[in-house]
Amino acid sequence: MSKSKFFDVFLVSGFFIFLFVSLITDFSPGITIGGNFIDFVKSMLTILPIAFILIGLFEVWVERKTVEKYFGDASGIRGYIWAIILSSTTVGGAYVAFPVAHALYKKGAKLSIILTYIGSSALTRIPMTIFEASFLGLKFSVIRLLVSIPLVILSSVFIGRLFKNKIRD
């Protein structure tokens, strides 16, 4: 077993031993951590199976040339707009955004557009924006989107150019 695998097994085992000892000794912070862990696992198990089925269907049904047309090198600014639209309709946050980004990557999407998708998936989800506007006001939400979306695109373009030749398989 390599050192990194041994370290991973050691950490995971240590975590579960900590939870078990916390349960036996009635250590409140450990019990809280265990409860949070169980809630997290339940939440992931409700979202991920459906997301992986949809991503699998995407990989089978959507042709590579379609992804390259809308998200590839020749897509231009339209690719960034499509990435923002797609990310605003994605449900499940980062649980779903990263697998979708990987599927787009495998189908030939441009790196900067994938990074825009990931960045804007945290900013532009429609339910989150509606919730935010209801509490902080529509003006705040619009200003936040108008400021943050261009910054996400600019940083994605910069990072995409920086890593252009270093990541592609």
**Do residues 68 and 133 share a domain?**
yes
Task: Establish if 126 belongs to a structural domain.
Answer: yes
Task: Establish if 32 belongs to a structural domain.
Answer: yes
**Do residues 77 and 148 share a domain?**
yes
Per-residue pLDDT tens digits for 85-100: 999 998 878 888 999 9
pLDDT of residue 30: 94
- The Cα 55–Cα 115 span in angstroms is 18
**Do residues 27 and 86 share a domain?**
no
109: domain range? 62-167
**Do residues 86 and 161 share a domain?**
yes
pLDDT of residue 106: 93
Task: Establish if 120 belongs to a structural domain.
Answer: yes
Task: Establish if 55 belongs to a structural domain.
Answer: no
Q: What is the mean pLDDT of residues 42-58?
A: 89
pLDDT of residue 116: 96
**Do residues 30 and 74 share a domain?**
no
Task: Establish if 128 belongs to a structural domain.
Answer: yes
Pick from 101, 109, 94: nearest CA to 168: 109
Q: Does residue 168 surpass a pLDDT of 80?
A: no
Task: Establish if 148 belongs to a structural domain.
Answer: yes
pLDDT of residue 44: 86
**Do residues 93 and 121 share a domain?**
yes
Sign of CA dihedral 69, 100, 112, 126: positive
Q: Which residue has the tokens 């916390």?
A: 22
pLDDT of residue 2: 79
pLDDT of residue 64: 93
- The Cα 49–Cα 130 span in angstroms is 26
**Do residues 40 and 11 share a domain?**
yes
**Do residues 22 and 76 share a domain?**
no
Average pLDDT, the chain: 91
Q: What type of residue is 32?
A: T
DSSP the chain: --HHHHHHHHHHHHHHHHHHHHHHHT-HHHHHHHHHHHHHHHHHHHHHHHHHHHHHHHHHHS-HHHHHHHHSGGGTHHHHHHHHHHHHH--STHHHHHHHHHHHHHTT--HHHHHHHHHHHTT--HHHHHHHHHHH-HHHHHHHHHHHHHHHHHHHHHHHHHTHHHH--
**Do residues 104 and 36 share a domain?**
no
Q: Structural domain tally of the chain?
A: 2
Per-residue pLDDT tens digits for 108-161: 999 999 999 999 998 999 988 999 999 999 999 999 999 999 999 999 999 999
Q: How far is CA 72 from CA 52, 96, 149, in A?
A: 23, 21, 19
Task: Establish if 56 belongs to a structural domain.
Answer: no
**Do residues 26 and 73 share a domain?**
no
Task: Establish if 57 belongs to a structural domain.
Answer: no
